Structures are given as structure tokens and as C-alpha cells.
Amino acid sequence: MVISIDSPLDMHLHLRDGRMLDIVAPLSAETFAGGMVMPNLVPPVTSREDVRSYRERILKARGDERFVPYMTLFFRSDYTPEFLHSVKDEILAIKLYPAGITTNSEGGVKGFDIEELSPVLGVMSDLKIPLCVHGETGGFVMDREAEFIPIYEMLAKNFPDLTIVMEHITTKEAVAALDRYDNLYATITLHHLYITLDEVAGGLLQPHLFCKPIAKRPEDRDALSNVALNAHPKVMFGSDSAPHPREKKEAPGCAAGVFTAPIALPALAQLFERNGALDNLQAFVSDNARRIYGIEPIEKEVVLENSPYLVPEIYEGTVVPMFAGQTISWRVLSVG
């Protein structure tokens, strides 16, 4: 069996910087037409110059692959209206992180005082700049996303014209919130469609499956699968592919992140085929994102074949992918 995907998009992607960028950018650029790049570098991307410089580094690192990096800014409550107007055409969204909740988020929002956030969110709403949110509190790790839902609701109610994307949702509570507010959307990762906390820590600890937000319960995975496999019009694929050097994963203080970029499309095809939903894969990995963000990606046809593929153990001696050393049932046949 062979299927074709038209201009696949990864709407939540970590490309890092420096040597890691050089390693992982071509792996996303090979099979995706574009990806929304997260801004949590050190220091974070907070200026027009930062956006332009990082974009140039990505374009250089992608090599000859055809791939458009959709750029983002790291949310700050002191952005001026003049600044937001000046940068609007160079970014696709602004990403809000609660302070200290994930990798390189120490400069994020420390409180969700609507009065403090309103000036920037109001201008974003007027300019039609989407807000992407890492939605977790600082509570008990399994409850952090569910506890954040009232904050999403506050934002959705106060800014009904603002497109708000709940990034990498992991819970049935987040899925339920999608249909309560017209302006709430979501990305869903590959790994959260496959794993629960049991795969991470139910036996021997699997550091390469440790991520934030942490994988949850089977009923949460079922809720995510239901909307993804049925191509719910308000959800889209965002890998949250988050590479770390192997020594940072297999170590005390294990870094959070699952590296899925090079195997994302074949692994999604495997999952959708198993569930009789291959016809919905195009919408999940491209069409919904085009409509939600109002973008028209470059033309890129990725042909996938129902044929065994042995996933590499490691890339460039540095980054271990999900399913390392395992055989999945689909592979990339060609890219055109």
C-alpha cells in the first residue's frame, strides 16, 4: 500500500541551535514542507533581530531541503504595540511559557494576571497574531495540564477574537475544552498518541520517552486518539520533537523531550492504518493547520509505503529517536 501526503506540516517543533540545529534541521526539512519553530533558546527569541537571525541559521542548517520555518516569539508582557506591528509579518505566532515549567522557560510568565497580560494580548488579537501556550501549572505533575484549563478558559473568554492554541495537549480535559470555546485549538504529538506513563516508567525507566508535559493515563491517550484519528477540525499535528544529546537523556536530571522528527510521518501512518483512519491523515498533518493559521505551504509531496523500516539507533552519534532500533511498518518512499 502506498499513500501520498500533500505538504505535511509540523506545527510545534524544536530545532535548537548550534551543532544540534545542524543535526536535526535536515531531518525535519527532509519530509515536512514547513514547521513552526519554538523560541525557547538561550537566550530566548524576543526581538525582530532574534527572529531574523534564527531564521537565517535554520535556512542554512536545512541545506538543500525545501522547508519553510514558521517563526515564533517568546511571549513577554512588555512588548509594545509598535513592536508587535513591526514584527507581525515575520512571525506566525507568539509562544507563552509559564516560568520554569519546561526546557529554557525560566523567563516565562510568572502569574496569569489578566490586567498584566491584556495589553499584549489585546494587540495580538487586533493584529490576528495567534497565541500558542504551554499549558501547565506548577502543581502535581500528573495534574498540571488539567489544572491549567481554567486559565485557557479565562484567556478564551476575555479575548474571543484571539486564536489560542493549546500546545501538545495530553489530557481528556483539554480535549473537552476544544468544543467549549470557538477560539481554542490544539496540537497533538506523535508520542502522546502512542504512550502513557506506563511506557515511560511502568517497568525500567525509559529516559528517551520522558517529556513535558508528561505522558498521562490510558483514558487520556484514548481521548487524544479519538480527535486525532477522526481529524477533528480544531486539532493539528505538532511533533514537539525535542532533541537532547544522549548524555543529557541517559543521566541524573534527565532532560525532557522525545525526538520524533525523522520518523514522525511513517509512525503516524502506522497508527492511522491500524485504526482504519488513513484517509484522515492528510487533514491531521496539513489541512487543519493551513486553515487554522491561514497559511499556504510550499508544494511538497511525501509518498509513504507500507513496508518495514528499521529505525536507526542514533543520529550523528548524538540524538536517540523514538522507536530506536525497532521496526515500524511504514517508510518514506519518496519526496517530491
So which residues are the catalytic ones?
Answer: 240
- What is the layout of strands, in order, in the sheet containing 93-96? 72-74, 93-96, 131-133, 164-166, 184-188, 235-237
Nearest-CA neighbor of 228 among 284, 174, 182, 185?
284
Side-chain-side CA neighbours of residue 237 (13 Å): 31
> What are the DSSP calls for 181-195, one per residue?
-TTEEEEE-SHHHH-
- Cell numbers 505538532 correspond to 238
Nearest-CA neighbor of 267 among 210, 212, 322, 335?
322
Q: What is the CA radius of gyration of the chain?
A: 19
C-alpha to C-alpha distance for 191 and 213, rounded to whole angstroms: 11
C-alpha to C-alpha distance for 225 and 230, rounded to whole angstroms: 8
User: What 3-state DSSP class applies to 304?
Assistant: strand
Nearest-CA neighbor of 134 among 168, 177, 91, 172?
168
Calculate the alpha carbon distances from 19 to 46, 52, 155, 327 in Å. Answer: 22, 19, 37, 28
User: Residue 17 carries which DSSP code?
Assistant: S
C-alpha to C-alpha distance for 169 and 167, rounded to whole angstroms: 6
CB 16 within 8 A of CB 241: no
